[in-house]
């Protein structure tokens, strides 16, 4: 009799077990704005946020499973964690690649993006007028301005004094303030062009020549500085797109995909352990550019430029790739995850899809 009761209750016990929520161990790694948390906190106190975190939570809700985060230091460790079944899935900013597909499975694409180039702001494409403004600003320092004002004051007074002592026709009014006013406009004209009376000679003629020569030297120096700046920018100082990267020193994270692309196109790849290390090298002028996934560079640029513009991200996008969710080979949940992923990417009538709302929330728009 007890056996008969047990047999009758067995289906209901089985159904109860099937409806119990499972716990998925999900491997993640730091990668703004995909996965973010304070790594200095104990694991139990961390509260990961970001695009990938929100997206997985949406998938987990559809699968009716709970989540336990498993922390990895880089992509290689994340892949190994999933491959060795220490996590059911991995999600962060992991590029779908053929060599990785040999050892693990990928879901369908969860995000499409490309590489972009980060430069120091002073290396960006700029106009001749901007160069003119910057170079003139370097030339007209406070010290130079004071020296010029003293020279101008001396030239004005000397020229007025020479004119009052000239026996011929007077060029300026003989009263001091009216004469100085006229001599000021004479000095401005003589800096740029020769505009002295033909019959003027002696000391007045000598002062005219000296002041005009001073203007010629100053204009020549300023013209040379501007011409040199424009030449440097036009010949080799500016990176406009990926075609300008061959032969340039370019930083790339050693464990990520961009370094392989950069090597193939002939760039001098400087491998770094982290993206922050690459940014530091860029700001210190140890490298000429930094290449990484576009959305992450845009996100970091907004943080870096909060007080002043230090870096820019070029609008050119190249080497398009896809991010995917990582699963062990022959994983039974692959189809269910793919289905949930596609549902979250589909629009809900007139409303944006869950995926689109996350993109708007976490991924900065290119400027």
61 & 13 share domain:
yes
Burial 212-229 (b: 16+ CB within 10 A, else e): bebbeeeeeebeebbeeb
Euclidean distance between CA atoms 141 and 137, whole angstroms: 7
Q: Which tokens belong to 214?
A: 């001073």
What is the secondary structure of 233-294 as a DSSP string? IIIII---SGGG-TTSEEEEETTSTHHHHHHHHT-EEEEESSHHHHHHHHHTTSSSEEEEEH
State the average pLDDT over residues 343-360: 87
The whole-number pLDDT of residue 367 equals: 62
The whole-number pLDDT of residue 180 equals: 82
Is the residue at 57 inside a domain? yes
**Structural domain range at position 284:** 240-318
149 & 177 share domain:
yes
pLDDT reading at 321 higher than 50: yes
Is the residue at 118 inside a domain? no
Is the residue at 286 inside a domain? yes
pLDDT reading at 162 higher than 90: no
Euclidean distance between CA atoms 311 and 121, whole angstroms: 5
The tens digit of pLDDT for each residue in 146-160 reads: 888 888 888 888 877
Euclidean distance between CA atoms 323 and 109, whole angstroms: 6
The conformation of residue 336, written as its DSSP 8-state character, comes to H
Supply the pTM of this predicted model: 0.63
308 & 342 share domain:
no
106 & 67 share domain:
yes
307 & 333 share domain:
no
Is the residue at 367 inside a domain? no
Is the residue at 124 inside a domain? no
| Averaged pLDDT score across all residues of the chain | 83
Which CATH number does the domain housing residue 357 bear?
3.40.190.10
pLDDT reading at 12 higher than 70: no
Is the residue at 106 inside a domain? yes
328 & 313 share domain:
no
The tens digit of pLDDT for each residue in 116-141 reads: 999 998 775 555 566 666 666 666 77
251 & 271 share domain:
yes
For residue 100, cis peptide bond before it (omega within 30 degrees of 0): no
- Residue whose token pair is 């026709």: 169
Q: In whole angstroms, how far apart are CA 205 and each of 121, 168, 191, 212, 216? A: 49, 13, 14, 11, 17
| Domain termination residue (choose one: 219, 237, 255) | 237
| Domain termination residue (choose one: 207, 237, 267) | 237
**What is the SS3 assignment for 102?**
coil
Euclidean distance between CA atoms 51 and 58, whole angstroms: 11
268 & 351 share domain:
no
Euclidean distance between CA atoms 332 and 58, whole angstroms: 19
Q: 197 falls in which pLDDT band (50, 70, 90)? A: low
Is the residue at 116 inside a domain? no
Q: 360 falls in which pLDDT band (50, 70, 90)? A: very high
Cβ partners under 8 Å of residue 197, min gap 6: 169, 171
Q: How many domains does the chain have?
A: 3
| Domain termination residue (choose one: 209, 237, 265) | 237
Q: 10 falls in which pLDDT band (50, 70, 90)? A: very low
The tens digit of pLDDT for each residue in 63-89 reads: 999 999 999 998 999 999 999 999 999
pLDDT: which is higher, 186 or 290 = 290
231 & 251 share domain:
no
249 & 302 share domain:
yes
State the average pLDDT over residues 237-264: 87
Q: Which tokens belong to 62?
A: 């559809």
Is the residue at 87 inside a domain? yes
State the average pLDDT over residues 220-224: 76
Q: 233 falls in which pLDDT band (50, 70, 90)? A: low
State the average pLDDT over residues 219-223: 76
8 & 69 share domain:
yes
Q: Which tokens belong to 210?
A: 């000296």
The tens digit of pLDDT for each residue in 252-275 reads: 998 777 888 999 999 999 999 989
Q: 35 falls in which pLDDT band (50, 70, 90)? A: very high
211 & 278 share domain:
no
């Amino acid at each position: 009799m007890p056996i008969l009761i047990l047999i009758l209750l067995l289906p209901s016990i089985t159904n109860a077990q099937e409806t119990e929520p499972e716990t998925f161990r999900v491997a993640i790694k730091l990668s703004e704005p995909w996965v973010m948390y304070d790594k200095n906190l104990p694991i139990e106190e961390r509260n990961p946020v970001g695009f990938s975190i929100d997206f997985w939570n949406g998938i987990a809700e559809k699968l009716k499973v709970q989540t336990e985060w498993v922390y990895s230091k880089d992509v290689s460790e994340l892949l190994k964690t999933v491959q060795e079944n220490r996590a059911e899935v991995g999600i962060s900013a992991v590029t779908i690649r053929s060599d990785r597909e040999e050892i693990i499975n990928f879901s369908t694409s969860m995000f499409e993006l490309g590489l972009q180039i980060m430069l120091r702001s002073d290396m960006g494409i700029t106009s001749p007028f901007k160069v003119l403004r910057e170079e003139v600003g370097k030339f007209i320092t406070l010290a130079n301005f004071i020296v010029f004002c003293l020279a101008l004051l001396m030239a004005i007074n000397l020229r007025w004094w020479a004119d009052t002592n000239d026996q011929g026709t007077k060029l300026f009014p003989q009263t001091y303030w009216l004469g100085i006013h006229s001599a000021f406009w004479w000095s401005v004209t003589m800096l740029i062009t020769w505009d002295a009376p033909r019959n003027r000679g002696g000391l007045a003629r000598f002062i005219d020549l000296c002041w005009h020569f001073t203007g010629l030297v100053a204009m020549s120096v300023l013209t040379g500085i501007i011409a040199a700046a424009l030449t440097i920018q036009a010949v080799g100082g500016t990176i406009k797109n990926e075609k300008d990267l061959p032969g340039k020193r370019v930083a790339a994270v050693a464990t990520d995909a961009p370094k392989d692309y950069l090597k193939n196109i002939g760039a001098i790849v400087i491998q770094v352990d982290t993206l922050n290390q690459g940014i530091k090298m860029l700001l210190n002028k140890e490298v000429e550019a930094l290449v990484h996934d576009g959305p992450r560079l845009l996100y970091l640029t907004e943080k870096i430029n909060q007080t002043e513009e230090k870096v820019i991200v070029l609008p050119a996008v190249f080497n398009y790739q896809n991010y995917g969710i990582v699963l062990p080979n022959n994983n039974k949940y692959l189809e269910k995850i793919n289905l949930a992923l596609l549902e979250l990417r589909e629009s809900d009538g007139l409303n944006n899809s869950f995926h689109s709302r996350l993109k708007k929330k976490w991924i900065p728009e290119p400027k």
